[in-house]
A and B are shown apart, each in its own frame.
Chain A
Amino acid sequence: MASRGFSFQMPSVGPSEPISRVMRHVFLDHQSATPVLPEVFEAMRPYFTEYFGNASSLHQHGLRVRDALATSRKQMAGLIQADNPDDIFFTSDGTESSNLAIKGVAYANERKGRHLVVSATEHPSVMNSVEFLEKQGWTCTRVGVTPAGLIKLDELEAAITPQTVLVAVHHVNHDIGAIQPMREVGRLCAAKGVPLYVDCEASAGWLPIDVKDWGAALVSFSAHRFYGPKGAGVLYRNRKARIVSILHGGVQEGGRRAGTENVPAIVGGGVAAAIAADRLQARIAHTGVLQKRLWDGLSSRIPYIQLNGPLPGPDRITTNLNLSTEFIEGEGQLLLCDLNGIAVASGSSCVSKSLKISHVLGAIGLDHALAQGNIIMTLGEANTVEDVDYVVETFATIVKKLRGMSPMWDEFERGVIDSVIAPTGRGKSFSAHAAEVSGKPAH
């Protein structure tokens, strides 16, 4: 194997060489952040220096800012087809919104019941809020998903009891891009009379959202996912859901969220929402073309690579590719991508501070070996066809380099272990082998 001499031809960046010498920069982590659009930034600028008032003040400075918040509320409401802008609450980000949705509804309905239903693949801010409540005596049912990551509707229906006070199902999965059947979920909740909370962090600005169509009582999203600033989180709440505050202080946001509003971020977020509503179809079309080109390129250039989550199409958001490349680990792939100007994410245990694989990959039943080789690429508006072609070439070279260093690739080629993606029938499973050498039971 060693004598085969895998050559790594990409511009190899030594530690002393600045990364700017790399020929191309491709940002493929739009799930984490997006650049603030120039027009958004311009709209925000006066709210730092000129219009610095506090929205709670009763003088000119305060009233002007209050007016700006009202405009943003309208823009945010427009993005999700909400009729009443007063149903929009501003928070610091998606995590705060989901904490408020889960804990706020749970505490408000304590007398009615202490049972929650969530999908098994919610964002950690939902999962950990639920865990927090469980320690205080609430119970929670986590509804399973199919191998593609779609919620099992029959399990969802069976999980709802007379004590259930909230159902939480995200619109699009942040890891694997699965689009949940929200209309069906909404009908089910309506039939049972239970309020539905939909986390739209991964979809707002990238997919049409209609809170009325879903019958959603609560919806959350944040502007930094669609070219707005960080610090502008939104929780939509209609009259169907009773909710109490989890932050105590002043009566900002109708008493639902105490604390001085982050005015520049909220103003910018509103403008970003208006632009997102305007460019929605163009963004979907653009990223859809790139997604197809990227997956076609990667899957034809790289053997033993698979796409996790639904196939590109109606069940998958156009921005997301979640990949498992067999026989190599994700952090190494991520680091080499970065050194070649490509920003990606990974759900491998090695990149997590808890040394656990992404719970989403666990919930779809992905083999541990495949979860270890996980890379998440999320596209955006500024990515180009040239970017995609560069990524395909570079990633193929990176995979080759890492496989050349991997004992697993070597053992696969010698028939000691088998592939999970395309089994040859020779050799034992990777998991069995890993268990043997680590002296631990298989995952």
Chain B
Amino acid sequence: MSDTYTLYNPTVMDHFMNPRNMGDLKDADGVGEVGAAACGDIMKISLRIKDGRIEDARFKTFGCGSAIASSSMATELIKGRTIEEALSFSNEEVVDALGGLPPVKIHCSVLAEEALKAALEDYVKRHPEAAKAVAAQPVSA
């Protein structure tokens, strides 16, 4: 075989084969675990948050190649963002950064968005003072 055929584009394959930020965070400030209703897969994202900013992020995924790549990319994208920035994070950003996903695999990127939001929710629950700070922020258009 002289050519390599892959199921996904090179960026997705790269994040699947060499996932970034895989694992758990010791002393995570927020952990979110969600399941995909469509296929039954599960994703977990852990965050370390300092001064209202996501300092570090890790993922663990039970799911397909797109799900693993999506969680890898999502954790890359959100590092360094403020909580309010992260709260408006959308799966489309993951899809764009990955250079596209097959239509049937879009839900895998939604799982990444949901896992991130669940982790933020967990953080806010554990740190009510942070919630007040976020709420006090002027909402930018």
Contact = CB atoms under 8 A, between A and B. Distances in A.
B64 A20 contact: no
A438 B39 CA distance: 10
Given A16-B10, A355-B39, A438-B42, 4 more contacts: A12-B18, A18-B1, A339-B17, A443-B40
Interface stretch (B19-27, B88-96, B130-138): B19-27
Contact of B65 (A15, A331, A355, A438): A331
B2 interface: yes
B64 A332 contact: yes
Interface stretch (B29-37, B49-57, B79-87): B29-37
Q: Which of A1, A2, A350, A353 has the largest number of chain B CB atoms within 10 A?
A: A350
B41 A18 contact: no
Interface string A354-376: 01000000000000110010000
Contacts of A355: 38-39, 104, 107
A328 B41 CA distance: 9
Across the A-B interface, the 8 shortest Cβ-Cβ residue pairs:
A2-B23, A438-B35, A350-B64, A331-B64, A15-B10, A407-B60, A407-B44, A437-B35
A141 B107 CA distance: 35
Nearest to B5: A19
A434 interface: yes
Q: Which of A327, A369, A407, A437 has the largest number of chain B CB atoms within 10 A?
A: A407
Given A20-B2, A368-B40, A437 B62 contact: no
Interface in A421-443: 433-440, 443
Contacts of B36: 438
B63 A350 contact: yes
Interface residues of B, number: 39
B62 A328 contact: yes
B37 A438 contact: yes
24 contacts: A2-B58, A13-B4, A15-B10, A17-B4, A18-B3, A19-B4, A20-B1, A20-B2, A329-B41, A332-B64, A332-B65, A332-B68, A349-B38, A350-B39, A350-B63, A350-B67, A407-B61, A408-B42, A408-B62, A435-B35, A437-B35, A438-B35, A439-B37, A443-B40
A420 interface: no
Interface residues of A, number: 45
B13 A350 contact: no
A405 interface: yes
Contacts of B60: 405-407, 410
SS of A interface (majority)? helix
Interface in A296-343: 327-329, 331-332, 335-336, 339
A14 B14 contact: yes
Interface string A96-127: 00000000000000000000000000000000
Contacts of B34: 437-438
A351 interface: yes
B33 A437 contact: yes
B72 to A, nearest CB: 10
A18 B16 CA distance: 17
Contacts of B17: 12-15, 336, 339
Q: Which of A327, A348, A355, A439 has the largest number of chain B CB atoms within 10 A?
A: A355
B140 interface: no
A349 B39 contact: yes
A329 to B, nearest CB: 5
A350 B67 CA distance: 10
Contact of B24 (A2, A328, A349, A408): A2
A331 to B, nearest CB: 4
Contacts of A404: 22
A422 B36 CA distance: 25
Contacts of A434: 35, 40, 42
B2 A18 contact: yes
A403 to B, nearest CB: 9
B7 interface: yes
A353 B61 CA distance: 20
Contacts of B37: 438-440
Q: Which of A15, A17, A440 has the largest number of chain B CB atoms within 10 A?
A: A15
Contacts of A439: 35, 37
